Structure 1
Amino acid sequence: MKNLTVLALAAALSGAAFAAPETYNLDPNHSFPRFSYNHLGYSVQLSRFDKTSGKVVMDKAARAGSVDIVIDTKSVSTGSALFNEHIQGEDYLDTAKHPTATFKSTKVVFEGDKPAKVEGNLTLKGITKPVTLTVTSFQAMPHPMVKKDAIGANARTTVKRSDFNMGKNAPYVGDEVTIDIAVEAIKE
């Protein structure tokens, strides 16, 4: 009986120890970075990017992972075609020279079985700065429509536009920008 218990325990531990990392591809129809900022003290403006791609790797047993996201900055959607052009200009996103923004994680911090923070490097307009995304919700479960494992998360951080050479009109237009990202990803 003792040998069976030892074998069962060894099998359970070896399965956890050898669990492979799982790769999830972002669902482009349900993954949207949004950003908001104070506009002249009148309102908080909210915009988003319509084209995002990337991968999330999760090793649940090791409580580790990685996130690699690419944002098409030309897909910015402010709600106004005129302002879309304005924000893509040289003073802000400068999409002619920098058509993408990226986030590459350096560490995923877990609380229990779920990621709580994702530390990494955000590159905007060719400038890279460290940021920490705080995960506000996370779900891992089989996707009811595609019949594959899937994950979903919402995360948030705040950056300064001026740190990325986009500080024109500050402080009238807020220098602090809140970035929220909603992500859904399907297992490969």
Structure 2
Amino acid sequence: MRSPALTTITLAGGALAATAAPAFAASPLHPALPTAKTGLAPLVSITKTPLVSRDIALAKRVAHVRGRTLESSYRKTARSMSITTLRRHHRHLKRELRIARRARAAERSVASPQLEAIAACESGGNPNTDTGNGFYGKYQFTLATWQAVGGSGNPARAPEGEQDRRAQMLMDRAGPGQWPVCGR
């Protein structure tokens, strides 16, 4: 048996004609589908909201691993993206997160306890130290010494992991005497 709420469709003279159900008919069991007035906006919003949230969370993680903060305008930018663009951007952010994590792991200190003690004495362990007296970085290299162990540029601008490797090379070549006060 058919529900009286259904629209009847009849074939009249080879043409398809639809007649509406009477106004007193029972209300449909399912909520109304989007109409021409509302369009698909409500459905898109329901689908897009979790994607926007996920995009923002991924972007925050990437920024955090890189030592930055996410710009406040990013949320607005993410909301303006289409669903397809958001999905593509998720893949991009996941790649960026892997790259940033690998880069951060490569920059970590790999110094021996003896070198860590020397660094603590020389610069307080700060790899960015530039005191203006001709000594630079975590181990207070001179530019000539830095270049002698293969470094280029200013040691204070080099990643901490590179400073540790170069200091270990110097320690292996010449011993702790290169740091006359702190190397004892």
Name the TM-score class by shorter chain. under 0.3
Q: Of Structure 1 and Structure 2, which has the larger fraction of its residues in helix?
A: 2
TM-score (normalizing by structure 2) = 0.25
Q: Of Structure 1 and Structure 2, which has the larger fraction of its residues in strand?
A: 1
Higher relative contact order (CA 8 A, sep 6+): 1
The structure with the larger Rg is: 2
TM-score (normalizing by structure 1) = 0.25
